[in-house]
Amino acid sequence: MFVVIALVLVTVGTVLFHFLAPTIGWWWTPIASNWGYIDDTIIITFWVTGVVFVVVVLFMAYCIFRFRYQEGKRAAYQPENNKLELWLTGLTALGVVVMLTPGLFVWNQFVTVPEGADEFEVMAQQWQWSYRFPGKDGVMGTTSPRFIDDDNPFGLNPDDANGQDDVLIDDAELHLPLDRPVKVLLRSIDVLHDFYVPQFRAKMDMVPGTVTYFWFTPIRTGTFDVLCFELCGLGHHDMRGTVVVETQSEFEAWLGEYSTFAQSVAQAETGAENVLNLVSREVEAASVEKKSALMRLDSTVSHEIEVKRVFR
């Protein structure tokens, strides 16, 4: 009898928890993108699995009570029941179809980017985020892992004219304009990562060697966390960023603070030149010092020779 009561209590408790938890804030964060469909599909899954859970557990409690041990009572042997099996198979299939079908429609929308959507790229590496915007021409330059070095961390093709005005955001803070659909291109240069902003609902794995993508439209302003949603090594927990959704003009002002690929290459070149100049100046100074040391030595030696001559 104890087990029967426990099972009934677990069922009632689970259902109560599900309906009461949102009132104490145990629910999704308020959505900030167009992907309400994703919430809808999860709610459908909650309903299907919730009903099945309640029915199965209560049925189990009923059976434990109904068929409990009783003196002189024997179990009936029933090896086959085609009708029952047909019902169970049919209902299970229906449940699976109800859960999966909406997801297929949503997935189709998720990867069908609307025409005129802006583009930007998210670059992941252990354990940081950086971003790239296409610049004035609206076209991203091509990239390849073989171009990646200290001066070209995004691996942009230096000969691609489209890439020269690409704006490089070497910072974990991303800004996006409000109400503009954006296609997010996802790249990783080491291991699997996953770009996830809980308020946008959308997320996708980033796979080294390929570019994955999805799209969304930010629908309210605010600052949200960017999380890596794929266990990617020791620093995984620390792979955080922020995304600020703001008006178009605020976004443009922010973007203007960062340098383009061409500017960063030029900066790197002047940087290298400065280092070269510094090194050659140091070499010069060292050789002057060496010369004067030699001269000092020289005069000491000749002085000693003089002294020796006098005392001979």
**Residues at the contact surface with Cu ion, assessed by CB under 5 A:** 193, 228, 232, 239
Nearer to Cu ion, 167 or 202 (CB): 202
CA 294 to each of CA 63, 113, 301, 304, 308: distance values in angstroms, whole numbers, following the listed order: 104, 74, 10, 15, 21
Nearer to Cu ion, 195 or 224 (CB): 195
CB of 175 to Cu ion, least distance (A): 21
Joined tokens for residue 194: 């996953």
Residue 35 or 129 with smaller CB distance to Cu ion: 129
Q: Closest separation between CB of residue 194 and Cu ion, Å?
A: 7
| 184 vs 228, beta carbon nearer Cu ion | 228
Amino acid found at 240 = R
Q: Which is nearer to Cu ion, 61 or 239 (CB)?
A: 239
Q: b/e per residue, 120-158, with b = 16+ CB within 10 A?
A: bbbbbbbbbbbbbbbbeeeebbebeeebeeeebbbbbbe
| Least gap, CB of 230 to Cu ion (angstroms) | 6
Q: For the chain, how far is it from start to end, CA to CA, in angstroms? A: 124
**Nearest approach, Cβ of residue 146 and Cu ion (Å):** 23
Residue pair 127/228 in contact by the 8 Å Cβ criterion: yes
Beta carbons of 178 and 218 less than 8 angstroms apart: yes
**Shortest distance in whole angstroms from residue 133 CB to Cu ion:** 21
Nearest Cα to 128, choosing from 200, 216, 226, 261? 226
